[in-house]
Amino acid sequence: MTDLYLIRHGQTKWNLEKRIQGNMDSPLTELGQKQARWLYEAYRDCQIDVIYTSTLDRAFETAKILRGDREIEIIRLDELKEIHFGEWEGLEFMQLKEKNPEAFDAFRFTPETFRAEGGETFTEAKARVVGAAEEILEKNRGRKVAMVIHGAILKLLMGHYMDLGINQVWEEPVIRPTSVSHIRFNDSGYEILKFGDVSHYRETDENSFGI
């Protein structure tokens, strides 16, 4: 069996400010660091053989906290970065909604048709992360693999394994910071054991929607 744990990074400063991060970056908040420590404590006795993470610092910092003092390799890959939102990155959601309501509605309600100027489509992002995941799984057969990534890219990857359309990317569950989605692969296929699980939380987080 091969186990794949898909983990979103901890809460960031721009999550609180409701800004689009995309390929730009924002530091973990104090709560974001706590969320990663809660995750580490919950999975401290769980075998993890390797951690893959995007090259963005918010994911890498979460991965380092998850690793703790264990001797686990962390591999950073550009292919695991969040969707590139072009000129939208760094702007507040409400600012975008007021400035260009049609584009914002496409982003929210018909993501399969959306592309921010200078960015990539959801279809392109899905192909990128699915390709990376398939390579990772091929290299790590029979191992326990953690991937610390980003909210939208995680939903696209789960959508691939659940045979969901890109138009369903914003449906429940909400992918909260450090949430865990667990897929187990075997010779006959795979099963989804967790999707957006935050049972390790010690306090709720209702302020971290973001990409």
Strand 180-186, strand 189-197: pairing = antiparallel
Q: CA 103, CA 93: separation in Å to the nearest integer? A: 12
Q: CA 53, CA 6: separation in Å to the nearest integer? A: 10
**Is 9 a known active-site residue?**
yes
- Options 61, 79, 82, 120, the catalytic residue: 82
Residue-level pLDDT, tens digit, the chain, 211 residues: 999 999 999 999 999 999 999 999 999 999 999 999 999 999 999 999 999 999 999 999 999 999 999 999 999 999 999 999 999 999 999 999 998 899 999 999 999 999 999 999 999 999 999 999 999 999 999 999 999 999 999 999 999 999 999 999 999 999 999 999 999 999 899 999 999 999 999 987 766 666 7
**Is 61 a known active-site residue?**
no
Residues 6+ apart with CB under 8 A from 61: 9, 10, 27, 28, 33, 36
